Amino acid sequence: MTPEVLLDGLVFPESPRWHDGELWVSDIFGERIVAVTPEGRSREVLALHERPTGLGFMPDGSALIVSRRDQRIRRLAPDGLHPYADLSGLPGERADDMVVDAQGRAYVNRRNVFAGGGEPTRPSYIALVMPDGSASIVADGLHHPNGMVITPDGSTLIVAETRGNRLSAFDISADGSLTNGRVFASLGELTPDGICLDAEMGVWVGTVWSGGFIRVVEGGEITHHISTPGKWAVAPILGGVDRMTLFLGTCQTTLLDCRTIETTGKSIGWIETVRVDVPGAGWP
């Protein structure tokens, strides 16, 4: 499975989402949202100085965008950009990834920046943002929560815990709260970032610093591996008309860490593609 480059010229592609015939992606440190067709025609959807991270789509097709600088969610509708939710009053230092369910409820990770000097990362959590913009904590004690998916029946949320080296699962209650937290898959030394789900409950995982994308099933068996030599494997999404194109957000590894990218903006990012045998399912 050798990926082909679909789009280059990005700085750091995050939270790829398939929507209405295009792949949307947050170019965080490029401070913009970009959309690209399967043929490679790209356009800038929105410039956002506040640095876009998590992306999701409401039932009416409008986009929700998490902004890193001010810890807010904005809604992009046909008539422009609107305030949606303010997360800055919640504990923690950073909101990043997000998944929006069929009812328009948004789950957003809220986490502390990595502790330095080898200190343990402080536990973080997932917040639930309701369609009226109200926010509450629904799962805590997580180790750097990152990408999230929701199963097709809406019953389960799976989250990547980057510093926990695992995927965890929660039952979703009728009111959107999360219960029965458990390990979905332990990943050893691998560091999961963005994730997406297929129709056979396989989870595609960007292992970011570990190098490469994997497909893992509940219990931890790795069924597929896509190598990305010299590149960070940031985030995957299954899209295309048949949801059988795996879009991969990758980033050059010549810079040492995210802080370096944030201050210099010199990293090179790509969207790459590979065809798979099992279509995407659930959300995003």
The pTM score is 0.93
**Terminal alpha carbon distance of the chain:** 23
Helix (H) or strand (E) holding 23, with range, is strand 22-27
d(CA 251, CA 234): 7
pLDDT of residue 256: 46
* Mean pLDDT, rounded, for 141-166: 95
Question: Regarding predicted confidence, which is higher, 267 or 145?
Answer: 145
d(CA 140, CA 126): 6
Burial class (CB in 10 A: 0-12, 13-18, 19+), 79: exposed
d(CA 62, CA 79): 10
- Beta strand residue intervals within 119-155, DSSP E: 124-129, 135-142, 145-150
- Please tell us whether the domain made up of 4-275 is placed in CATH 2.120.10.30: yes
Nearest to 168, CA basis, from 213, 205, 209: 205
d(CA 280, CA 237): 8
Q: Which of 179-193, 213-227, 244-258 has the lowest mean pLDDT?
A: 244-258
* Mean pLDDT, rounded, for 105-131: 76
Helix (H) or strand (E) holding 259, with range, is helix 258-264
* Mean pLDDT, rounded, for 5-25: 96
Q: Which of 84-88, 165-169, 261-265 has the lowest mean pLDDT?
A: 261-265
Q: In this structure, what token pair is assigned to residue 278?
A: 């099992």
Q: In this structure, what token pair is assigned to residue 188?
A: 């050893």
